[in-house]
Amino acid sequence: MAVWALGLNHTTAPLDLRGRFAFALDQIAPTLQSLRRSVGRGGGHPEVEAAILSTCNRTEIYCAAAQPALDHTVGWLAESGGVSPALLRAHTYALTDDQAARHAFRVASGLDSMVLGEAQILGQMKDAVRAAETAGALGSTLNQLFQRSFAVAKEVRSSTEIGAHSISMAAAAVRLAGQLFERLNETRVLFVGAGEMIDLAATHFAARQPAKIAIANRSLDRGEKLAARFGAEVMRLADLPGRLHEFDIVVSCTASTLPLIGLGAVERALKARKHRPMFMVDLAVPRDIEPEVKQLEDVYLYTVDDLAHVVRQGEASRQAAVAEAETIIDAGVQSFMHWLDQRSPTGGIVPLIQQLQAQTDVWRQAELARARKLLARGDDVEAVMEALSRGLTQKMMHGALAELHAGDAQAREQTAQAVSRLFLRKER
């Protein structure tokens, strides 16, 4: 089996391009079906394993089949995002076999994240694997790849300091807001959305005890659950334009495919605020806030890419931990490639195992047929059982005994050692 990965992330593609390839988790099943049909048909491999990891910082496709089909994977992804394959190739990375495994292990361990060592990506990766498994797109090869990536990530986090003092996107947003507003406890904060990132951001901002917290979400039930934890007000998204002026800080992260906060709404809010500054954070991909908002004089708008400099501060002190983590990952890659090689028709043992199982089944069926004939004619059951076991034993031992009597002395000695290992090993 060949394994390959195709992806784009915060280092290879701008935010707006990444937004074209953001796949919602609840749409992963039909998306995977489309991917497998396209790649399988184009590459001539009807059975393609596939998984898609889609976050605000990356979209990655992992596949396994008899032969790699990277060109067809690029073609499918380009079509899904409405761009040319040439443009997509300029902003993606394509990896095969050991390099694909290494990349998956580094992603799971937080080494490829905007926030070095951040733990959220591991949960997102597990969600992607569960979604692929539910969709029936995950086979034994990708399952091994991902389970080993989780094990490597666990070892990296438990054996190194890679995650120590890492600054999350939410913590970075609080830090930047604190530079604009001297007293965060006097600010009013609005969170748009109620997902994992908003939960994390609300937790960090709530720790600074702002004067007011509100949560606007499409689903009031989900918004109310989150609001209850922080003593926050719940708003409908439809009320957002008319109430935007009430808030000093706005943090948005939804799965909307179109911006929820437009330039006109922010201009009206600034006018109502008499141009008191607003701090806005757009953590969504695609964007929740129109990019033109950043040009307004009294608005300080940050996207996930704008926060990169803040979250990277202090990373130099963790380079020793990175080196330790890479060593663990190297060992994991070697182990996975050894497992993959064992399953290879040319270099592995799987075909031999299958042949042995087929041959022993032929012997078993032959002895069973003979035993049934003896029983049918009325022979003693104990005698038939004895003959059955003796016949199986003779068939299984015939090849080994024949080899022990054949060849020269050196060949017989090698055969004797092999037979001893196979048949005379002590039970453990």
Which residues participate in catalysis according to the annotation?
A: 56
* Three-class secondary structure of residue 47 per DSSP: coil
Which H or E run contains 16? helix 15-19
Q: Report the relative pairing of strands 49-54 and 233-236 from DSSP bridges.
A: unpaired
* Three-class secondary structure of residue 29 per DSSP: helix
**How far is Cα 311 from Cα 167, in angstroms, rounded to an integer?**
5
Q: Do 113 and 159 touch, CB atoms closer than 8 A?
A: no
Around Cβ 411, how many Cβ atoms within 10 Å?
A: 12
Cis peptide before 286 (omega within 30 of 0): yes
**How far is Cα 413 from Cα 114, in angstroms, rounded to an integer?**
60
> If you search the block for the tokens 């930047």, which residue do you land on?
176
**How far is Cα 117 from Cα 314, in angstroms, rounded to an integer?**
12
Name which of 231, 233, 234, 237 is nearest 206 in CA terms.
231
